[in-house]
Homo-oligomer: A and B are copies of this chain.
């Protein structure tokens, strides 16, 4: 049997055929363009049908079609509640899809799908809980407990990026002040890097970006630190403190078997990111003297996580 996963992004739809070993065997991509929610349902169904036909997979060999949306969903009702950046509200995706193909349809939040993908791809698969912390524009926290996505009462759970760690701190887009993602997302790191460059005109960070602040990215401070730049080291040290603070909060609440770090920042060298974080978080946590601890690891799947995770909704 095969499972189809569709990752719905703000720009593109990406679909993949996933086998029983959780591997992608074929993909298909199309720009996101639709006039109505009705048409959106048709586009999704046609994409899934074409993906299976073009790859010689009979329709009855597809066990399910899973879709990951950038927003909360109600999987039981087959409804997408709303999405970020796409004009979808209370869309009965499953019903619309079924007008074209009567295959089991499963819906998920994209961050949750990515977590599910990481969960099924974790080493020897003998775990029950994994939290995927994705460092990007914000911080996503996809929660897998007892092998299942934790969505909460309204599909909105897993917003660990919007937990306050700095009471009264920087204003956040969510309306609160001092959310974790204002201090430890990739965007936060970029802001912190720019601020340090502003006050250290002699920093090696200026050379790395050709004197152009718009070229600052999540790697700038790490690279300059490796060249021995003190201002860059201070940026990285402070960033790791903020990141570890929120990770320790997650551990103290869940004590999950695994926390996987994803997003661009997670690709930094282990000795500069993962190793210091591991010891900082362990030092901060409850249960540090216990026999078993949360393992902090790098996420594995990268851009494929969304497709694989969406497909895996059907295996759940």
A interface secondary structure, majority? loop
Give Cα A151 to B292, complex, Å: 12
How many chain copies?
2
Instruction: Closest B residue to A166 by CB, please name it.
Output: B167
Give Cα A242 to B178, complex, Å: 13
CB distance from A49 to the nearest CB of B (A): 32
A164 touches B249 (CB 8 A): yes
**A162-193 vs B, Cβ < 8 Å mask (1 yes, 0 no):** 11111101000011101000010000000000
When A164-B245, A164-B248, A167-B242 are in contact, do A255 and B286 touch as well, CB less than 8 Å? no
CB distance from A292 to the nearest CB of B (A): 4
Give Cα A143 to B249, complex, Å: 15
Q: Contacts of A153 on B, CB cut-off 8 Å? A: 129, 255-257, 292-294
CB < 8 Å neighbour of A81 from B248, B255, B290: B290
Interface CB pairs A-B, < 8 A, 19: A81-B290, A129-B153, A150-B254, A153-B294, A154-B255, A154-B287, A154-B291, A154-B292, A154-B293, A155-B290, A157-B255, A160-B252, A162-B286, A163-B163, A164-B245, A167-B178, A167-B242, A176-B248, A176-B284
